[in-house]
Amino acid sequence: MATESMTSLLSHITHAASPLDTIMQKNPDDIVITLAIRTPMCRYKTGSLSDTPLDALVLKILEQVRLRSNLGPALVEDICLGNVRDGQAAQFGRAAALAAGFPNTTAACRVNRFCSSGLAATQNIANEIAVGSIEIGIAVGAESLSTPNTRLDRPFVDEIMNANQDARDCMQEMGQTSENVARDFGISRQKQDEFALVSNNRAEAAQRAGWFDDEIVPITTHKDGKEIVVNKDEIRYGTTYERLSKLRPAFPEHGDRSTAGNSSQITDGAAAVLLMKRSKALELGQPIVAKYVGTAVAGVSPRIMGIGPVFAIPKLLSRYNLSLQRDIDVVEINEAFASMAVYCKDKLEIEWSKLNPRGGAIALGHPVGCTGARQIVTGLSECRRRGVKVLLTSMCMGSGMVSTTPLPWRWNLSADYDVRGWPVSLSMNVYEPAGFREVVIGPRVAFGRVKYVRWIGWREAYSQGVVRYLPYRIVIQLALASHMVLALANVPLSWTASRADGEPSVTKSTSYLPNPAEAVRHRT
């Protein structure tokens, strides 16, 4: 009888599986990220990386990938470098890979999709793995804006300039497109400065709290002829609205709403993402950081290129039947300019708590070829900090394009509860800077100390301290999120957990939701 009841319940829950459940499923052929790291983002011309050219940046980040992945270099079959401004990037990427310790059997290429080049590199490697061209690859985004680069210094040929207005608008400066967005959609200077203030304050708070520490790798380089170690972003501290409001327009010939303070900071930096199939990661004992789900690209008028995420994000979410408000936990959108960031936030109705929680390019900077990969690294780190599951990253690009990718972060859960005679045990892996450790939740189990994690709620789970007890509601939701079965149809659920500090145990009892289908759909 109990077996029949369990079968019925499993069938009920299976049919009620949500789109989010679907993308969270684990399959051997999943494309997964096993390492995501970046250099500090450093100021243009005066910063710590201003004397570090592109080839050196790529070399440094690839050395760190090789060292930190504990992966045999010969297993890496391709490296794709996302870069915008350097015409020799393909050559630099290949030479840097060889110098970093990868063998000559490891291929290399370069991709340029403007501001999304780092994300395009990730997409390229993921696609190569998906179709069987390679098994393991590295996506790199890097840009040295401080050192000399090639750039378009002449108009297009007459055949392009005379074709149509959109073709001619591809010559517009990015600052001009920002003013176009502000003017066309009524984004005031005040709104832009207010957004910039939030970005700067969040980045400052995140750096003070050490939230960037697990995503940044220290870089040894040279500045003014001296060897230095660069280990933190060069963020403007003490930004105030008063200071922002006094700045002069940056593009007065086009408008008066975009300034140096509410536009992305010009910086140098690099980021890297290591990808392979889930089956290969398990075979090699590689930690699975996230699952790559997919990417969507879209085009808009070049003169208002910044609004691109408004088109690409819904396009991608509809492909997987996901809801931005219900299913996405963290959203990283490139803050090329506050004008486009404000418009995208308002148009897509993105909650402030989800959008660029550690600040964006206005505060951290925008090394154009790097940012697509940098947002993946930062977003996944924030998902770990919060204990949430799905990151969505998006950015606009010059000449009116946009790219978007969702990345679920992993929860590993298994089953020790006894619910009406049905054995259901639950354990989970909690992220620490040193790796993943298991915390078992069950009758009278002492949790012990878990550095950097204290459970506050399902959505927010961070701060240094001791895991004391996990509220029953969170236990249930974690189980559901991982396709585990708890009898929730008015079933009394009781459990006891010991306090790590020796204080009395905590016991919780409840009847939860009225039926299993509603339980599966329910989210805090």
What positions carry a catalytic annotation?
115, 366, 396
Taking the alpha carbons at both ends of the chain, their separation in whole angstroms is 33
Closest CA to 400 of 265, 296, 309, 295: 309
Is residue 345 a contact partner of residue 181, using CB atoms and an 8 Å limit? no
Instruction: Tell me which long-range contacts 185-192 makes (C-beta under 8 A, separation of at least 24).
Output: 185/307, 185/343, 187/257, 187/338, 187/339, 187/342, 187/343, 188/257, 189/245, 189/256, 189/257, 189/259, 189/262, 190/245, 191/338, 191/342, 192/257, 192/258, 192/259, 192/262, 192/337, 192/338, 192/339, 192/342
Say whether 297 sits in a helix, a strand or coil: strand
Largest CA distance in the chain: 80
CB neighbour list of residue 469: distance below 8 Å, 6 or more residues apart: 447, 455, 497, 499, 506
Please enumerate in sequence order all residues whose Cβ is within 8 A of that of 389, keeping only pairs 6 or more positions apart, or say none.
Answer: 20, 24, 329, 383, 408, 409, 411, 481
Neighbours of 162 (CB within 10 A): 10
Per the listing, tokens 């390492």 go with 35
Q: Return the closest-CA partner of residue 228 out of 485, 50, 459.
A: 50
Q: Is 194 exposed, middle or buried (0-12, 13-18, 19+ CB in 10 A)?
A: middle
Q: Cα–Cα distance between 292 and 409 in angstroms, integer?
A: 9
CA distance 41 to 270: 8
Torsion, CA 383, CA 386, CA 390, CA 395, rounded to 10: -60
Q: Between 89-99 and 54-69, two packed helices, what is the crossing angle to 10 degrees?
A: 40
Three-state SS at 306 = helix
The closest of 336, 285, 288, 331 to 308, measured between CA atoms, is 336
Q: How many CB atoms are closer than 10 A to CB 463?
A: 12
Angle at 309 between CA 304 and CA 314, to 5 degrees: 130
The Cα–Cα gap between 451 and 464 comes to: 6
Structure tokens at 430: 């909690």
Neighbours of 160 (CB within 10 A): 13
Convert 479-509 to b/e letters by CB count within 10 Å (16 or more is b).
bbbbbbbbbbbeeebebebbebeeeeeeeee
Nearest Cα residue to 37 out of 378, 433, 405, 431: 378
